[in-house]
Structure 1
Amino acid sequence: MNTVQIVSTEVLSDHWYTLRKVTFDYIRKDGSSQRQSRECYDRGNGAVILLYNGEKNTVILTRQFRMPTYVNGNKDGMLIEACAGLLDADSPEDCIRRETEEETGYRITKPERVFELYMSPGSVTEILYFFIAEYQEAHKMNEGGGVEAEEDIQVLELSFPQALKMIDTGEIKDAKTVLLLQHLQLKDRMKA
């Protein structure tokens, strides 16, 4: 039995990404019907990767300006995070290879998919594909920094214990990055 029947969809904004108001009838577990409306922000699906070097016990992260964090209390709007990007027309694996080289300067060939998650399911449609990959100095093709016309990204190589400590101190507040750092720790891939 279908518990959702969409009644109407209205585009509220289509400037940067698409914000829709969806009105629907929802069949509750007691069998009654309830009409509801929700706004759904569609920015496309994305991929994120944490590069790690087990030998050196280091990870590669990025630092860049994020306007939504700035307007919500992040003093300078800068956020430390794992490399990520939107899929556009690519597969998650192709996307993350491209984004890794653009943002960090490292070329990876075999990203390992670890899970996929809805990051903010109450309002955002995005599914985020999570990856990890080992990096070596030989994989470095350039300095990274993102697409010059669009991004101004600083590449950070941090010890794994330092990155974990930055979660505790609040220097790392990005959920996808925290999840991947904790994944490496739980799987005993790095020394805390």
Structure 2
Amino acid sequence: MTQFQEKTISRKLIFRGCIVELYVDQVQLPNGSYSTREVIKHPGAVAVIAITPENRLVLVRQFRKALEKTILEIPAGKLEQDEKPEACALRELEEETGYRASKLYHLTSFYTSPGFADEFLHIYVAEGLEKGEQQPDVDEFVELVEYDLETCLEQMQLGLICDAKTVAAIYYWQLQRK
């Protein structure tokens, strides 16, 4: 639908970091007027819904600087250059939790914040879990937590589970149990 498209007039790189790039675009709007857009470019990421044989969701407790607080999340991480999402999901699951999965299937993929970022997140379900040893990145401090569905729902009510991917994972898990 071309009536909704914005034409980029100019793009300026403001910041290039280890994870994201920030651009400021000057755009022409569909009505002919002009505006500015701030756009974050991201390499993409994966997240893993991992349910233990004891029917508990595998989560990590981690401090998130952008929020200035610690939250509970499903294991997740960014795609490395040329890395396939499936390989990233298995890698992140093992690094953050120590678990290895004998089965992995793709559930869904979506843009996390399309108003300002192009991050595309792939969610996988891991089955046939076998416990190993955590191997977090050197700058990653995570605590492994495993909760049943009721506890996860309570943690959401308390605001300790508050990110979109984890909330979606819990609702997916709840629907699968019906």
Q: TM-score, normalised by structure 1?
A: 0.84
Query: Partner of 2:99: helix, strand, or coil?
Result: coil
Structure 1, gaps ≥5 residues long: 71-76
Q: Secondary structure at the match of 1:37?
A: strand
Does structure 1 retain, via aligned residues, the 8 Å contact 2:45–2:122? yes
Give the residue type in structure 2 aligned to 1:22. D
Please identify runs of 4+ aligned residues in structure 1 that moved more than 4 A.
Answer: none
Q: Per the alignment, in what secondary structure is the counterpart of residue 91 of structure 2?
A: helix
Whether 1:127 and 2:120 are equivalent positions in the alignment is yes
For 1:23, the equivalent position in structure 2 comes to 26
**In structure 1, distance between residues paired with 2:112 and 2:125:** 18
2:64 corresponds to 1:78: no
Amino acid at match of 1:63: R
Paired letter, 2:136: G
Counterpart residue identity of residue 42, structure 1: K
Task: Please name the residue that 1:9 is paired with.
Answer: 11
Deviation, structure 1 residue 173: 1.1
Whole-angstrom distance in 2 between the partners of 1:165 and 1:134: 24
- DSSP-derived class of the 2:108 partner: strand
The counterpart of 2:140, out of the listed 143, 151, 168, is 151
Tell me whether 1:141 sits opposite 2:132 in the alignment: yes
- Per the alignment, residue 87 of structure 1 pairs with 79
SS at match of 1:111: strand
Unaligned runs of 5+ in 2: none
The one-letter amino acid paired with 1:101 is E
Q: How far apart, CA to CA, are the structure 2 residues paired with 1:122 and 1:155?
A: 32
CA RMSD, 1 decimal:
1.7
Identity of aligned residues (%): 28
CA change 1:37–1:109 in 2 (3 A) is farther
Residues paired across the two proteins, number: 174
Tell me if structure 2 keeps the 8 A contact 1:49–1:132.
yes
Distance 1:145 1:152 in 2: 10
More strand by share: 2
What is the aligned partner in structure 1 of residue 35 from structure 2? 36
What amino acid maps onto 2:85 in structure 1? Answer: P
In structure 2, how many angstroms separate the alpha carbons of the residues matched to 1:36 and 1:111? 44
Show the counterpart of 2:58. Answer: 60
Given that 1:166 and 1:172 are in contact with CA atoms closer than 8 Å, whether structure 2 keeps it comes out as yes
